[in-house]
Amino acid sequence: MTPESCITLHRPVMVDSVMKLLLTSNPDDDILTGTMVDGTVGGGGHAEAILEKLSPAGRIFCFDRDPAAISITRQRLKSDPRIQLVHDSYSEIGEYLDLGSAAGVILDLGLSSDQLEAARGFSHSQDSILDMRFDPSARINAHDVINSYSIEKLRNIFFRYGEEPLSPRIARNISNARQKGAIRTSEQLAAVIKNSVPARFEMKAVSRIFQAIRIEVNSEIELLEAGLKACWDILKDGGVLCVISYHSIEDRRMKRFIAEKVKGCVCPPKLPVCACGQKPSAQVLTSSALRPSPKEIRLNPRSRSARLRAARKIPSK
């Protein structure tokens, strides 16, 4: 699938809610000013919505590890001089923007529709080679994980990143299957998983294992933790960070990150008086995670598991 043919596939998730939150960075007007960041540009849907509200003097930096996503966004938004495309992870944002320089950041941590349509093994609903790399130059791919990891290592990533209760059985059956020949395609892998669990759990188990492998291949949790800090550091006071997650592992980390910024102090709980001197640096903008509307889920089924959390940076001194 060419970048040109992918342009119409991607629907941005919860874009209206994201825009309302980002616009709070400039409460006196219904426009965005200064520097905005889309840290996971995907098909360019959120970036396009930001550009519609961005002042003529504003600019937006769009990051993605997937070169296909950069190409798609370039085709979609190529005529706008305010956009800067960066083929890199949002965890490296500090290499491109100064501290305290951005008015808003959006991170959509899910797979784009374009990636699900691509033949890289992300989806178990169509047969393709086991790859699952966002960046084709990355060191390992899904084939390497499935065919070279030990049973114990597979079990651990399935449980940690997929929260799959039948991880030991699935890991053992994958090991047995690959002894007869390498597992090369998403269809082969899905078949092994389905044969490892009761029929009523098949689809959940397949989804969880594919998620776990993708997270492992792309180091998603490590990059999320580094990226949240990096994105927070480049926000100016009053700037807004929005994060859309799609599973509880990511959502818990975002929730914990905001809680730490709201609290400020990192002293041990038993210490009677704060000795660290760290002050609160965040205001919660979403008391609980926002969810897509029933209408959006009907129009875009991939949004059904989305959770949106946001916080505003406040002066910490």
pLDDT digits (tens, 9 = 90+) for 75-92: 999 889 999 999 999 999
Q: What's the pLDDT score for residue 115?
A: 53
CA distance 260 to 266: 8
Residue 247's contacts (CB-CB under 8 Å, 6 or more residues apart) are: 163, 211, 305
Domains of the chain: residue spans and CATH: 15-44+53-111+223-292+306-313 (3.40.50.150), 115-220 (1.10.150.170)
Mean pLDDT of 63-80: 91
Between 32 and 268, name the one with better pLDDT.
Answer: 32
Tens digit of each residue's pLDDT (9 = 90 or more) over 264-276: 888 888 888 888 8
Mean pLDDT of 235-252: 97
Q: Give the percent of the chain with pLDDT over 70.
A: 93
Q: What's the pLDDT score for residue 6?
A: 42
- Checking if the pLDDT of 240 tops 80, the result is yes
Q: What is the 3-state secondary structure (H, E, C) of 161-193?
A: HHCCCCHHHHHHHHHHHHCCCCCCEHHHHHHHH
Q: What's the pLDDT score for residue 7?
A: 42
- Checking if the pLDDT of 116 tops 70, the result is no
Q: What's the pLDDT score for residue 256?
A: 96
CA distance 227 to 235: 12
Residue type, 176: N
- Checking if the pLDDT of 60 tops 60, the result is yes
Q: Give the percent of the chain with pLDDT over 90.
A: 77
> Which has the closest alpha carbon to 126: 134, 116, 135?
116
- Checking if the pLDDT of 4 tops 60, the result is no
CB atoms within 10 A of CB 59: 17
- Which letter does DSSP use for residue 199 in this model? G
- Which segments are annotated as binding site? 44-46, 64, 90, 108, 115
Cβ proximity of 31 and 307 under 8 Å: no
Top-ranked range on mean pLDDT: pick from 26-30, 61-65, 77-81, 117-121: 61-65
Q: What's the pLDDT score for residue 265?
A: 84
CA distance 59 to 44: 15
Q: What is the 3-state secondary structure (H, E, C) of 61-128?
A: EEEECCHHHHHHHHHHHCCCCCEEEEEECHHHHHHCCCCCCEEEEEEECCCCHHHHHCCCCCCCCCCC
Tens digit of each residue's pLDDT (9 = 90 or more) over 133-168: 998 888 999 999 999 999 999 999 999 999 999 999
- Which segments are annotated as binding site for S-adenosyl-L-methionine? 44-46, 64, 90, 108, 115
- Checking if the pLDDT of 114 tops 70, the result is no
CA distance 209 to 190: 9
- Checking if the pLDDT of 12 tops 70, the result is yes
Cβ proximity of 238 and 312 under 8 Å: yes
Weakest-pLDDT range from 90-99, 161-170, 296-305: 296-305
CA distance 183 to 180: 9
CA distance 134 to 217: 9
Tens digit of each residue's pLDDT (9 = 90 or more) over 195-226: 999 999 999 999 999 999 999 999 999 999 99
Q: What's the pLDDT score for residue 221?
A: 96
Q: What's the pLDDT score for residue 275?
A: 84
- Which letter does DSSP use for residue 250 in this model? H
